[in-house]
Amino acid sequence: MDAKLSITLSRVLQSYVRQEFKSPIGAVKLSLSHPIGAQVYSLVRYCDFPQKRQKNTEKELIDFLLPSTNLSSFSNHFVTVTAEGERKIQLFIQSEFQLAMRMYFVTGYEKGFSQKNIINTFIERYELPDNAISYEAIKKADYRNRTRIIKDIMQEIESCIG
């Protein structure tokens, strides 16, 4: 039997996770073979009673279904994560999202697509909600990544020159 875990996650990251696990509505069934699923699963704690959440986070909650494995059984237990564990999950999902965005741009530029087309495709691919993340925010992230790459190349060339 799968256990349900609720955590707070921004709308953008919820959309990203839903697309990664192909779960557009309801609880997201995690897989241990996916890095996000493994990270969430590794931070789960068992408890005898359901844990109460703060009321102001209801709108940003996402439910995960954790698969039962040979190593764990959720029967007769509830699952939760500590506040620190939840923050680690949020940061991990954020970094996976940023990595996916970088890979989208690298691949798109290698194929000769324009920045505008790459951004629009990325927004559509992950079904990012309107006003949750702007076109300009994604464009700025791409600019920062390209600037970092140029700086790295410059440092490597200068180190070879002497």
- In DSSP notation, 118-151 reads HHHHHHHHTTPPTTTS-HHHHHHHHHHHHHHHHH
Q: Domain count for the chain, please give it.
A: 1
pLDDT at 135: 86
Residue 150 domain boundaries:
3-160
Q: How far is residue 60's CA from residue 160's CA, in Å, rounded to a whole number? A: 49
Q: How many CB atoms lie under 10 A from the CB of residue 3? A: 19
pLDDT at 114: 95
Residue type, 65: L
Beta bridge partners of 79: 46
Confidence (pTM): 0.83
Q: Across the 162 residues of the chain, what is the mean pLDDT of every consecutive 10-residue run?
A: 86 93 90 92 80 62 82 66 93 96 95 95 88 84 93 94 82
Residue type, 118: I
